[in-house]
Structure 1
Amino acid sequence: MAKLIYAAITSLDGYIEDREGKFDWAMPDEEVHSCINNLERRIGTYLYGRRMYQTMQVWEEFYGQPDHTHVVRDYANLWHMADKVVFSRTLDHATTARTRLERVFDPEAVRQMKNGADENLAVGGAELAGEALRAGLVDEIHLFVTPVIVGGGKAALPETTQTRLELLGQRRFDNGVVQLHYLVQNG
């Protein structure tokens, strides 16, 4: 069975975006971006809410563009080649390749996706990740903790029931970012 992985770049105080909705402080350098790319190589399907999908669409524009750095071109290729499932009641149609819309997040349908998948799935966006965590679907969490305090905004880990985690690994990058890799102990 494939795993469902939640990965996020977060501030030290636990936010993925600040009070104004900005996340420019979270832009990874080449070393961190390369690590994220290697993590994403095992992803065959991304699960997104509307807002995260609209944020990530830029990677479709970057696909095949030679004027970007190697790590950006690499990630654009990985993103383009993966399937995307967007959960939205308001989006009329998908504008990227290999993308389908679902009107509601159905935990049982996601469980079936995991059971039938050859590659891992990733859930993008804190709200959708929270739903997946509450449903017991998330298997691993990767947090890339950035050395900045933003003082408020959107939490990387939204409210959920108590969830036990097992630290599987940690890595410190030259720019001060720390990656924390956890196994979610469901059940």
Structure 2
Amino acid sequence: MDFIMSASIISRKFILFTLMLLVSTSSLAGNFKVQSAEISKIGNGYILDATISYPLTPRVKEAISNGVPITFLQQLELVHSIAIFGKYWQWDKTLWTTSLRYELRYHALTEQYVLKALDTEHYRNFPSLDSALTALGTIKEVSLPPEHLANTDGLIFQIRSGLDLYALPTPMRPGALLSNKWQVTSPWKIATWP
């Protein structure tokens, strides 16, 4: 009898583990990804070039096609990492952080996708969603803060991208915050120094 009970408990744990694994891998299926992030030295300063892919979930695509403005964030961080016990324990101090914010919406009347840089109010129109996402994912020659770059030893520059769910219309916000169909933030990608 003990054998049957322990086998039953083991099989329940195995089923639970399998379900958790399926849920975790399905939620990662539509995540954004920073494909490349490279820093170049230009004169006395440094610039960032990066490429991000935006595989949107069907729920996000549906919202865009219905005219809901979606806000994308590109987070940039400069971190000074101090090794305390070699590579096993490090002290990280954030020196600089910023977010580039873009709003993407579809205008049904003109059948155009409008990409707006929220910091500069600069608009660009695109005939397709794919072309708008390609333009959004191309970061070219973003200047890095020179006051922190006199010595690049121990500096880590990282970038990630995601959606600003708090910028969604109020009725959509609770569902988006709880649904894994809206959780598409990329992991941090460390840029390569020259």
TM-score, reference length from structure 1? 0.28
Larger radius of gyration: 2
- Higher relative contact order at CA 8 Å, sep ≥6: structure 1 or structure 2? 1
